Amino acid sequence: MSRLVIDGLKRLHGETEVHGSKNSTLPILAAALLCEGKSLIHNCPDLSDVAGSINILRYLGCEVEFSDKTLLCCADDLDKNHIPDSLMREMRSSIIFLGALLAKTGSASMCFPGGCDIGLRPIDLHLKALSELGAEISDDHGIFRCTSPNGLHGANISLSFPSVGATENVMICASVAQGTTVITNAAREPEICDLADFLNSCGANITGAGEGTIIIDGVNRLQGTRHSVIPDRIVASTLLAGCAATGGKIRLDHVIPSHLGAVLSIFSECGCDVDIRGSSIIMDAPERLTAPKIVRTMPYPGFPTDAQAPIMAMIAKSRGTTLFVENIFENRYLHVNGLLRMGANIKVEGKVAVLQGVDCLHGADVEARDLRGAAALIVAALGAEGKTTLSGLKYLDRGYEDIESTLRSLGGDVRRI
């Protein structure tokens, strides 16, 4: 079992690039399944969740090659429409293949998806929306069987919550359905816009991505294309949090600063100097951070739930008290136990956590229990006195590409053993 060993209190400095977005890559890979011919997807991160999607595509009969951040996918020889349990359970976003497979073959079957245990994570919104597009869905002891005996057709779909995954599933499926689909209360995350850009470049007709209403005029066919995935805004947030936790100064290149608006405003409130220059962010952190008053997670453009854990770790040593309100997932404080072991002062009650900044953190043996929690424990360890050993790296590797090398290049003392 591998672990990270982090010797803390090394001030991060220097510059680094941010890799491509996991949450963009996964739906784009599912959408590539609908195209005729080859798609070339650039700036793909090398992550275990991407490997999981590649395994699914290959199992279905697609040709996939992945090297040097570019993924080639061709679904012309796809010959299956069932995804086995072992592949589905690897990650939650495997549900995104449902709409794509259904649209491609007219039927699809799979079990309930896996992923981090950060909440109930039902898929009712996905299933309801797909049935509004004409899917007939049955649940056979945990295996969903979807068919579209009368074809897929456009529909007015109103989401009761702006679910990212459900919005993506509908966009993919509706892009080749007959007629027009209108999604209201759609998710507005940058990854939704990236998926729309990919699909439109394949020949789809999608407008309004990034707004609350998305309109999809179905087309007969999609053609493979070239696309470059957007930078990962959560990886960027994590690296900035690591810098701030050590009172460092770094420059992040290859970011889209506007995607980080709500996060950057928290950094400023903490006393960090944030300078945006084109696609770079230069951050200069003070010796000790000031606790922000409140961090409330919200759908985009609000503060992202995925950045809650790293930011909590970053301010564990700040001056003051912060109230966290987690509005997206029910069980997203899995990192708190690890932070407490390192000396943090945090109390959790349901979706609320109250953090009282402490003078110092100390290294400890800690275990990650979810992806962003793993990142949080690294951030805390960077700012802690002494050595931290982090296990549970299977979660980290789902979303961060070789973060130990990136942190070492910035002066951190981080090794994988």
Residues in the chain: 417
Residue among 16, 43, 53, 93 that touches ligand UD1 (CB under 6 A): 93
Q: Which of 62, 116, 202, 243 is catalytic?
A: 116
The identity of residue 209, as a single letter, is: A
163 forms part of the interface with ligand UD1 (CB under 6 A): yes
Residue among 74, 328, 336, 375 that touches ligand UD1 (CB under 6 A): 328
Rounded Cα gap, residues 207 and 236, in angstroms: 28
**Which one of 35-43, 65-73, 160-168, 175-183 is the stretch in contact with ligand UD1 (CB under 6 A)?**
160-168
Residue among 133, 164, 222, 312 that touches ligand UD1 (CB under 6 A): 164
Rounded Cα gap, residues 267 and 377, in angstroms: 18
**Which one of 66-74, 130-138, 164-172, 390-398 is the stretch in contact with ligand UD1 (CB under 6 A)?**
164-172
Residue nearest to ligand UD1 (CB): 165
Residue among 126, 233, 249, 398 that touches ligand UD1 (CB under 6 A): 126
Residue 360 known to be catalytic: no
**Which one of 157-165, 206-214, 259-267, 359-367 is the stretch in contact with ligand UD1 (CB under 6 A)?**
157-165
Contacts with ligand UD1 by CB under 6 A: the residue count is: 23
198 forms part of the interface with ligand UD1 (CB under 6 A): no
Cα–chain-centroid distance for residue 7?
A: 27
392 forms part of the interface with ligand UD1 (CB under 6 A): no
Residue among 30, 166, 245, 283 that touches ligand UD1 (CB under 6 A): 166
305 forms part of the interface with ligand UD1 (CB under 6 A): yes
Sign of the Cα torsion 114, 210, 299, 177 reads negative
What is the contact mask toward ligand UD1 in residues 96 to 125, using x (rule: CB under 6 A)? Answer: -----------------------xxxxxxx
Q: Which of residues 23-42 bind ligand UD1 (CB under 6 A)?
A: 23, 26
**Shortest distance, CB of residue 326 to ligand UD1, whole angstroms?**
10
Whether the bond into 301 is cis, omega within 30 of 0:
yes
43 forms part of the interface with ligand UD1 (CB under 6 A): no
| Three-state secondary structure call for residue 96 | helix
**Shortest distance, CB of residue 116 to ligand UD1, whole angstroms?**
9
192 backbone dihedrals φ, ψ, rounded to 5° = -65, -45
263 forms part of the interface with ligand UD1 (CB under 6 A): no
What is the contact mask toward ligand UD1 in residues 358 to 387, using x (rule: CB under 6 A)? Answer: ------------------------------
**Shortest distance, CB of residue 30 to ligand UD1, whole angstroms?**
10
Rounded Cα gap, residues 29 and 198, in angstroms: 10
Residues noted as catalytic: 116
Q: Which residues bind ligand UD1 (CB under 6 A)?
A: 23, 26, 92-93, 119-126, 161, 163-166, 187, 191, 305-306, 328-329
